[in-house]
A and B are shown apart, each in its own frame.
Chain A
Amino acid sequence: DQQVKQNSPSLSVQEGRISILNCDYTNSMFDYFLWYKKYPAEGPTFLISISSIKDKNEDGRFTVFLNKSAKHLSLHIVPSQPGDSAVYFCAASANTGNQFYFGTGTSLTVIP
């Protein structure tokens, strides 16, 4: 049972444009969400997080939006750079513990 879903396996964007990566979840108990970036042969690297008490969190070029009613979050990267090319994972956890549920990832390619 996939509680966190990333329905777009891949995304290609021109350098300088906006990249929007989407994530949906089913468990209404989730209250903490993270995005990780993963390069080949490396472990995932933390990118940005948001708690359920907020609807937006911004860190430089990266902004995460949370729509609790739709159980949807998105990651915006502006402007996109070739170094952003990686697989992006969305993850969520509930207040019952520290277990994170991950989506299947979206492979982002930023074209120079």
Chain B
Amino acid sequence: DAGVTQSPTHLIKTRGQQVTLRCSPKSGHDTVSWYQQALGQGPQFIFQYYEEEERQRGNFPDRFSGHQFPNYSSELNVNALLLGDSALYLCASSWGIYTSNYGYTFGSGTRLTVV
């Protein structure tokens, strides 16, 4: 049973460019949440997608956008990259908007470096 898969695993982009990160949720999960983890910090909530709509959003600018497809997979897009966007981006899946007692299932993340 595949868990959450994210691609690519590593990415280097230039300041001002745009990037797209991809996530396939765990089988049976229909909700995808994205988190940003900067070095030495805990994960910070970006947004959550359920039924192909953004349901919740954290304190991130509009440069961060996303999409969920009918097969529940999701993309995170970041425009006009800044050096401060360099981080590990984690995708987490769950069943339904409200997690069960078992929380999310996280992927291994995409390490984005902006130079």
Contact = CB atoms under 8 A, between A and B. Distances in A.
Given A41-B108, A89-B42, A99 B103 contact: no
Instruction: Name the interface size band of chain A.
Output: 20 to 34
Contacts of A34: 103
B41 A44 contact: no
A97 interface: yes
A36 interface: yes
Interface string A89-104: 1010000011111111
Contact of B56 (A45, A99, A101, A105): A99
A87 to B, nearest CB: 10
A24 B32 CA distance: 27
**Which of B48, B92, B103 is the most central at the interface, judged by chain A CB atoms within 10 Å of its CB?**
B103
B25 interface: no
B7 to A, nearest CB: 14
A64 to B, nearest CB: 12
A49 interface: yes
Interface in B79-99: 90, 92, 94, 97-99
Contacts of B48: 97-99
A46 B102 contact: yes
Given A43-B4, A46-B102, A49-B103, A99 B41 contact: no
A4 interface: yes
Interface in B15-65: 31, 33, 35, 40-45, 48, 55-56, 58
12 contacts: A4-B42, A43-B4, A44-B43, A45-B106, A46-B104, A97-B97, A98-B31, A99-B56, A100-B103, A102-B44, A104-B41, A104-B42
Interface of B: 4, 31, 33, 35, 40-45, 48, 55-56, 58, 90, 92, 94, 97-99, 101-109
